[in-house]
Amino acid sequence: MSKGIDPDTLELPDDLFYDYFPKFRDSFCFLSGPSFAKEILEEQITLVSLAGRSYYNLFKVAEMLQTSYFRCLPTYDVKGVLLGGALKNILAIAAGIIEGLGYNHNTRAAMITRGIVEMRRFGVVFNARPETFYGLSGMGDLILTSTGGLSRNKLFGLEIAKGRSAEEIIKSQRTVVEGYKTTKAAYLLSQKYQIKSRIFVGLYKVLYKGVDPSQTIAAVMKSPITFELQP
C-alpha cells in the first residue's frame, strides 16, 4: 500500500523493501487499484490488484482481506502494479487541469487512453507486463482517479487550472497529493531512459517550470502525427 517513485533514487517501493528486508521478499504483497477509502467504508463493491512473488502468500492474503464487498485479484507483476499506482496519480492531476480549463468527456477519454500508452512505455523499462496496465491497477485506477470527485490529485489539478501555483496549493493542504512529487520522478525517469511521454513531461513543465497548461495542451496537439499503436 506504499505508492510512488523515489525522486532521488528513482526506485519503486519494492526495491526499498527488498533492500531493507531481503529475507522477507516472498512475504511482501502490494495492493493497488480503484478504491476510494470512503466508498470501501460504505461497503461499495471494490476490486483491487494484489501483487507479490509467492503464490501461497498472495492467495493467503487475498483470502484474509476478502469480504462480501472487497476482493483482491492476485498477480505476479509487482512492477506493473506499482507503476500503475504511482503514474495514475500524475494523470489524475492532468485530468483535473483538463476539466478546470473547460474540456469535457472527449478530451478526458483521449487523455486516459494516451496516458495508458505512456504508462506502458515506463513499464517496458521495468519489465512490467503490458496487460497489467489495462487491468485494475492500471486502467481501473486511472478511470477512478480521473473522473471521481474524491480524488485529491484531480482536485489539485482543478486548482492548477485556476492559475494557482503548485507550491501554493501544496502548502495550503493538509492531505497528501501523491502525484506532485511523482511527476518529478516520472520526468527524471523519462529523461534517463528516453521514454516518449508527452503528457508526463508536459505536466512536469506545468507543475515545476510554471508553464501555462493551455500552452502545454496546444503543444501536444501540434506534435507530429504517428500511428496510434506505435511502441
**What pLDDT digit, counting tens, does each position of 146-184 carry?**
998 889 999 999 999 999 999 899 888 777 889 999 999
Q: Sheet with 29-32: list strands edge to edge.
A: 29-32, 46-52, 70-75
Contact by Cβ (8 Å): 212, 139: no
pLDDT for 2 beyond 80: no
pLDDT for 68 beyond 90: yes
Query: What is residue 118's three-state secondary structure?
Result: helix
CB atoms within 10 A of CB 55: 11
| The CATH number fitting domain 86-221, selected from 3.40.50.1700, 1.10.3720.10, 1.10.1040.10, 3.30.2130.30 | 1.10.1040.10
Beta-bridge mates of residue 146: none
Please, where in the chain does CATH 1.10.1040.10 lie? 86-221
The string of pLDDT tens digits covering residues 98-155 is 999 999 999 999 999 999 999 999 999 999 999 999 999 999 999 999 998 889 999 9
Cell 533492500 identifies what position?
Answer: 19
Please, where in the chain does CATH 3.40.50.720 lie? 13-78
Distance of CA 63 to the CA centre of its chain: 26
Question: Quick check: is 196 catalytic?
Answer: no
Q: Kindly report the CATH number that applies to the domain delimited by 13-78.
A: 3.40.50.720
Beta-bridge mates of residue 75: 51
The string of pLDDT tens digits covering residues 75-94 is 999 999 999 999 999 999 99
Contact by Cβ (8 Å): 5, 185: yes
pLDDT for 231 beyond 70: no
Distance, CA of 184 to CA of 10 (rounded, Å): 10
**Which one of the listed residues 3, 79, 88, 181 is annotated catalytic?**
88
Residues 97, 103, 104, 106: is their CA dihedral positive or negative?
negative
